[in-house]
Structures are given as structure tokens and as C-alpha cells.
Structure 1
């Protein structure tokens, strides 16, 4: 049996409360829905919350620390999601037993599951202390979650510097809790502004929505809901980009307009702008006849008709 090339990704930020755990749970569930085998590791030893957002808190019997110590075998320490069989969850430690786990111990756990999963997403604790250092010790990629606030961006900048110092060069940015109305009024930074500041590729832009809060309180990732929403689409697009599919970013400003007429106009303008962009990329394309300027040969005098009034050819 051929083993899988596992991608190990830490989801981090520096600043707390920016939505790392929400991004981890929804992105992991989306990847699992796409047929990828996913393991979510909660590396926050003191304040474990990923199990709550997944709705798996009552099913956690063992932890990663128990697996490492030999208290239980691997298959008993991993919680399999009943709603999505490709998704597994494991907390590194319990809130009651906060015994520290070393980098070598975490690496041994990851070695056990490497080649079994397509993705291992590690939900990092806030800050840049021991918990963060532990979370980044075995990863090859990182997702930096930021909100459009200067404190979040400054902390993210510090984290990026640490990651680069650890030779973790594949870093992508997730801009969370964007409010399009505030961005339009220039009272909030846009994803483009944040990208220019941090110089990191943006892989996802998630709008602020009360639907995310409702789903979190239910213990059910938003992505499992049947109704369509902008945050749900954002997580789906993010997952597609993570696996290498080129997906255009949604125009949140157009999609969030409450006026249906303005919303239609904004969407129409976005489509027209995309058409112009596509045309400039392919200059060899010929414009439709109704827009085409007459070519020189079209300006020449056309030969007079050789048919008489009766429609017969003249002699």
C-alpha cells in the first residue's frame, strides 16, 4: 500500500481571538468533504476549544499525551467524526492534565500518523511562547489568521518572522472577519491592504457573519449547514486553493449590498471587469463583430452587384 504524502500545516496568528479555531474546524471539515483524510490536532494545552467547535467534546476519552505515554493505542486516541468519516480529531492534552509535551514527543506522534492522512492541521495556541513553539516544531507549512486590526497585523508580522527563521517558508494568509461596508468606507483595511503590509499570499478572505457564531455555539462547523452563505463559500474556496485549484476571490462588496438593484449592478460591473481582464490576457482574441472596428480591407469599395432588378445575372 502506497503511503500518502502528508501535508502538516499549523494554523496560527500570534494574537488571540482572531478565529484560528474556527478556521481550523471549517477548513478541516471542508477538506474532508472533498475526500481528503484529515487529522485536526489541538495544540492549545491550557485552553482547548477545538473539540467544542467540532461538537466532539463528549467523545474525547484519550489525548495525544496518552498515545505518546502508551496509555492507549493510536486508534483509540483519535476521535473519528461520525458526520464526516474522513475527519479525525485529537487534543494533545486535556484541560485537567496540563503536563507539557516536548517537541520530540509530538514528532513521535506525527511520525505514527504520517502517510495515513492527507492533511494534519495543528491549531496553535495564541502568543509565541512554549505552546506556539511546540505547534510549529514539526510543520512544513503555515496559515496565518489575521483580522483587519493593527494589533492583529503587528502580531502576525512577528509570527511570520519566527516561522521564516525556522525555515517554514510556505506561509499563506487568511483574512478573517472582514466587513465589506467598513472596507468600502475606508474605516477598515482590506485584504489587499493587509497583503501589502505582510507580503504573504492571501489564501482566504472570510466575511464577518453571525452565522459563524451560531454554528460555533451549536458545536457544528458552518460548512455542514445546507444553506449557502458567504462565509461557507469562503471556506470552500480556501480549501480548493489549498489543494492547488485556482479559484477567484468573491467580490464581498458586491455580494454584501442590501439593495438588490445595487447588488445586481455591482455583480454586473465585476463580470465586465473580469471580461476586460480576460481579454487583455489574450490579445489575439477577435472582438465580436458588433464591437469590431472596420479593417482596412473592409473600407475598400465593394464590387457592384451583377444582378438586375429581376434577380437574374446581368450579361
Structure 2
């Protein structure tokens, strides 16, 4: 079981990346759980078309006696399991965030991959999960940080989040999101991040107007438009992350699948 936390500034695309990476792993036969760790502005459920779940993460945090499986929903079209948050004001006021670690700790063994969406900036809501996590992905929207001020942005954002993740022993990587065709010097940005900051870039995701539309209809773009360029890049990002996380275990999994298929066809 592997736990990944997704962090970054507001509007960078943390929730979009969380939902689509979850779709990628579920599609590739990993039992995958997506958790909305943004306790005060939860929106992961909207990406899967779940508007008003009866039970949710906030229910679990407020009522330790509630069984976790009551708040776990399976998205039939993607196979992703989801623990959504509550959008009700009365639920988010004074929510006991410290109990989030208990929830993840109790459920993570049931899944091959657990991906947790974090709040904006320093992820205080999900900080307790860092003790359980293995990987941290920092999402950057380059368009909102002009190249000439990239170094300042990196110092204010990436370095802090990277340092935080490494303090908990996490493997840290960056994904560049909403990259437009007009964006210049992306190669230089990648080189700067990898060489100067020392953090690998595992994905460069193009801007696509169909992404917000996919959110509006409650279907991650990787499932909604699998042949779109943005979906192909998200898939590539998933492949890199999968190889990074599982490596040899992934190869053994593929071999087992081939052997099983041959036995079934014998």
C-alpha cells in the first residue's frame, strides 16, 4: 500500500491531478482510494459527480464510532474508491483534523494506492497524513508564475513544500500543470527545478478547456476524453509515478497477469 499526498498553491490543479491519477491507477488494476483532504474547501467529490454524500470524511472525523466503509464510495465508471468531504458549513467548523491520520491508517491497508488531495499552500489539514505517506507531488501552474519570477516562486512555494515533505521522509516530485503552447522555456523550468532545486519533474500537463468541463459533468478528463492530449500527458505522468512507486513489483505484477492469462487459456 502506497500513500501519495498532492500539494500546491490554490488553483494549480491539485484536485484535478488527484482525480485523474486515481483514474489511471484504478484503470491499471490497482485498488485505488482518493481522499479529499481539503477539510475546509472540499471539492474532490465534484470531480466524480458525487454532490451530497450522506456520509463523508467529516462524518468520520466527528464520529469515531462510524464505520469507515460507510463513507467510502466506488465510482462505477472509473473503479476509483472515494472518501469525499462535506460542503456543509456546519460540518467544517472546528472539524478535528487530527483524526484524519486515524482514518487513513485504518483504511490504507485495503488499497494498493491511496491519493490524498491537500488544501492550498502549507497543507495543515493533511499534515498528520505525512507520517503515513510515501510520496508527495507538488503541483505548479507555470502560467501564473512568469519565467522571470520563477526563482522567487520556487523559493516561496516549492522549496518550502519540498522541505516539509523531506522532513517526513517523503519522496518528492513536481508536476507542471496548465502549460499553454505559448509558454516559453519550459525546458529551462524543468532543468532549474531538477538541477538547482533537486526535485524531479514527473509530468508536464497542457492546458485544455475540456478539463473544467469534465469537472462540471463529474467525470475526470482521463476517462471523459482519453485520447485528448491532456489525457495522454496525465497517463504518462501516471506511468512515471507507477514505475517510481512500484518498479520491480510492477514487472512481477505484469508477469503474474501473463501467467494467469496463459493458464486460463490452457
TM-score if structure 1 supplies the norm length? 0.68
* Mapped partners of 2:210, 2:198: distance in 1: 30
Alpha-carbon contact 1:173-1:204 (below 8 Å) kept: yes
> Unaligned stretches of 5+ in structure 1?
1-5, 246-315
1:77 aligns with 2:78: no
Aligned to 2:167: 165
Matches within 5 A, 1:33-44: 33-44=27-38
Alpha-carbon contact 1:45-1:95 (below 8 Å) kept: no
Matches within 5 A, 1:221-300: 221-226=220-225, 228-244=227-243
1:100 aligns with 2:95: yes
- For the structure 1 residues 77 and 129, does the alpha-carbon distance in structure 2 shift closer, same or farther, using more than 3 Å as the test? closer
* Mapped partners of 1:130, 1:182: distance in 2: 32
Aligned to 2:54: 61
TM-score if structure 2 supplies the norm length? 0.79
Q: Deviations over 1:134-169 (max 9, x none)?
A: 45343121111112223653312211111122222x
Select the structure of larger CA radius of gyration: 1
> Unaligned stretches of 5+ in structure 2?
245-266
RMSD: 2.4
Q: 1:95 offset after TM fit, Å?
A: 3.6
1:52 aligned to which of 39, 46, 67: 46
* Mapped partners of 1:66, 1:45: distance in 2: 11
Alpha-carbon contact 1:63-1:94 (below 8 Å) kept: no
Q: Deviations over 1:240-293 (max 9, x none)?
A: 112217xxxxxxxxxxxxxxxxxxxxxxxxxxxxxxxxxxxxxxxxxxxxxxxx
Alpha-carbon contact 1:12-1:142 (below 8 Å) kept: yes
The 3-state SS of whatever aligns with 1:114 is helix
* Mapped partners of 1:94, 1:211: distance in 2: 25
- For the structure 1 residues 92 and 227, does the alpha-carbon distance in structure 2 shift closer, same or farther, using more than 3 Å as the test? closer
Aligned to 1:144: 138
- In the alignment of these two chains, the number of paired residues is 234
* Mapped partners of 1:159, 1:127: distance in 2: 8
- For the structure 1 residues 226 and 53, does the alpha-carbon distance in structure 2 shift closer, same or farther, using more than 3 Å as the test? closer
Aligned to 2:2: 7
Matches within 5 A, 1:196-207: 196-207=195-206
* Mapped partners of 1:107, 1:132: distance in 2: 8
The 3-state SS of whatever aligns with 1:76 is helix
Aligned to 1:115: 109
* Mapped partners of 1:187, 1:235: distance in 2: 17
- For the structure 1 residues 229 and 79, does the alpha-carbon distance in structure 2 shift closer, same or farther, using more than 3 Å as the test? same
The 3-state SS of whatever aligns with 2:158 is helix
Aligned to 1:258: none
1:128 aligns with 2:125: no
- For the structure 1 residues 197 and 229, does the alpha-carbon distance in structure 2 shift closer, same or farther, using more than 3 Å as the test? farther
Higher helix share: 2
Aligned to 2:23: 29
